[in-house]
């Protein structure tokens, strides 16, 4: 219970809040990259405890939210194929494609299964050698090692009826894309601790130097986030722009060497489209040539699927930090968790879902 208790201690939290107030002399706008951090900030009201000039901008770090619409439609097309067992984490089943979601495909008779690990999908493939088993491999660098290990094991074991629909995205290129946007207001970043626990911190000092922004790695508990904000504000006030690690209990500069070796072996960097944002160069992974036979997109010939985003949904602006969820006209009206227009209202880490779940509804008039 250590981290639930010690890192949520209200007395220590208020002490950190006081320290943030003491060092703040002017307005600052910082972005928390990860959707898990967004939920913690909104759930605990951290943004409402900060000095009035310190603004938290919610970033694109929700893997479900940034999975492009066309990839969802590819998943729907594959899942509907005869003889396919389509496996996914549960949070993807309600993410809307162009006209339906995986739940709708499942209710129409497709074999769509929720699994808790990609290795579960590999086990299903070994138990069903006469059927094609596909795992929906989405996420940031955090979930990629498990997916890489599964493909590696499929090759080693000779399981040829298994494949991976890959939609992995990378954080550092997204930070660069945000900073290069002409509408960018971000002056600093709280980096995602779980990503850095895998990848290390080596990619961030060049970004901090190039764009003149502090980058502070932090975790997800209230005290983690408040300490990350405190360190960020101190840097901003002092005119510094450096990488700092405020999450040393989980993050080392070198990351996880075993995981990094597996990632280098199984994946290669590619351009990747982000839902609501567009294509960011070198911002994703695809299977390396040695493992290309396990690529579901090629196996089922769905590479030509192209889609258009909803004209009502403004999740792209939310993901870029250009819009707060309640500022979207559809929020809480046409778009709710029961009838979502976009992934940011579906995902457990989506900013729109956080605003809805933690009663930021008083910000808008709900009809």
> What pTM was estimated for this model as a whole?
0.89
Total number of domains constituting the chain = 1
Alpha helices in the chain (DSSP H): 2-6, 10-23, 35-43, 46-49, 63-66, 69-79, 102-107, 118-127, 144-157, 171-179, 193-199, 204-211, 222-238, 257-266, 296-299, 315-319, 343-346, 351-357
- Which residues lie closer than 8 Å to 198 by C-beta, 6 or more apart? 141, 142, 144, 145, 255, 256, 259, 260
Quick one: average pLDDT of 209-225?
96
User: What pLDDT is recorded for position 62?
Assistant: 82
Strand order in the sheet with 84-88: 111-114, 84-88, 132-139, 162-169, 278-287, 267-274
User: What pLDDT is recorded for position 2?
Assistant: 66
Q: Using the predicted structure, report yes or no on whether residue 363 has a pLDDT greater than 50.
A: no
87 falls in which pLDDT band (50, 70, 90)?
very high
Rounded to an integer, what is the distance from CA 333 to the centroid of its chain? 25
Question: How much is the mean pLDDT over the chain?
Answer: 91
In a domain? residue 291: no
Q: What CA–CA distance (Å, rounded) separates 106 from 25?
A: 55
In a domain? residue 314: no
Q: What CA–CA distance (Å, rounded) separates 50 from 189?
A: 16
Q: What are the two backbone dihedrals, phi and then psi, of residue 72, each rounded to the nearest 5 degrees?
A: -60, -45
In a domain? residue 10: yes
In a domain? residue 73: no
In a domain? residue 200: yes
Domain harbouring 205, CATH code: 3.40.50.11750
How, if at all, do strands 162-169 and 278-287 pair? Answer: antiparallel
Residue whose structure tokens are 């900013």: 351
Quick one: average pLDDT of 152-181?
96
Q: What CA–CA distance (Å, rounded) separates 100 from 72?
A: 10
Which range marks the domain in which residue 199 is found?
2-61+174-245
Count CB neighbours of 6 within 10 A: 11
In a domain? residue 204: yes
Q: What CA–CA distance (Å, rounded) separates 8 from 16?
A: 12
User: What pLDDT is recorded for position 307?
Assistant: 67
46 falls in which pLDDT band (50, 70, 90)?
very high
In a domain? residue 154: no
- Which residues lie closer than 8 Å to 183 by C-beta, 6 or more apart? 320, 322
Q: Using the predicted structure, report yes or no on whether residue 171 has a pLDDT greater than 90.
A: yes
In a domain? residue 261: no
pLDDT digits (tens, 9 = 90+) for 242-288: 999 999 999 999 999 999 999 999 999 999 988 777 899 999 999 99
Residue whose structure tokens are 């009035």: 52
């Amino acid at each position: 219970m250590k981290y639930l208790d010690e890192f949520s201690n209200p007395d220590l939290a208020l002490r950190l809040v006081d320290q943030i107030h003491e060092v703040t002399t002017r307005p600052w706008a910082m972005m928390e990259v990860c959707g898990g951090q967004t939920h913690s900030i909104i759930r605990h009201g951290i943004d409402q405890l900060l000095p009035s000039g310190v603004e938290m901008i919610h970033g694109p770090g929700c893997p479900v939210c940034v999975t492009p619409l066309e990839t969802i439609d590819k998943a729907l097309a594959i899942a509907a194929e005869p003889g396919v067992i389509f496996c996914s984490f549960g949070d993807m089943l309600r993410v809307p494609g162009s006209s339906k979601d995986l739940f709708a495909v499942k209710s129409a008779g497709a074999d769509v299964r929720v699994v808790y690990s990609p290795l579960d999908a590999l086990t299903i493939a070994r138990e069903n050698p006469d059927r094609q088993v596909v795992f929906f491999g989405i996420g940031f660098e955090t979930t990629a090692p498990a997916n890489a290990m599964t493909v590696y094991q499929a090759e080693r074991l000779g399981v040829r009826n298994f494949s991976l629909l890959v939609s992995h995205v990378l954080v550092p290129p997204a930070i660069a894309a945000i900073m290069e946007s002409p509408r960018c207001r971000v002056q600093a970043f709280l980096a995602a601790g779980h990503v850095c626990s895998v990848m290390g911190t080596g990619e961030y000092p060049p970004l901090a130097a190039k764009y003149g922004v502090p980058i502070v790695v932090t975790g997800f508990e209230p005290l983690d986030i408040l300490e990350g904000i405190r360190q960020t504000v101190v840097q901003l006030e002092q005119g510094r722009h450096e990488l700092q690690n405020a999450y040393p209990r989980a993050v080392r500069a070198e990351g996880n060497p075993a995981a990094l070796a597996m990632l280098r072996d199984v994946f290669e960097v590619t351009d990747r489209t982000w839902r609501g944002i567009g294509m960011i160069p070198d911002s994703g992974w695809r299977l390396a040539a040695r493992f290309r036979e396990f690529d579901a997109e090629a196996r089922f010939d769905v590479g030509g699927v192209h889609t258009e985003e909803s004209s009502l949904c403004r999740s792209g602006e939310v993901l870029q930090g250009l819009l707060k969820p309640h500022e979207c006209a559809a929020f809480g009206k046409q778009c709710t968790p029961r009838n979502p227009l976009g992934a940011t209202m579906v995902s457990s880490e989506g900013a729109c879902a956080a605003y809805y779940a933690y009663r930021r509804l008083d910000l808008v008039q709900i009809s």
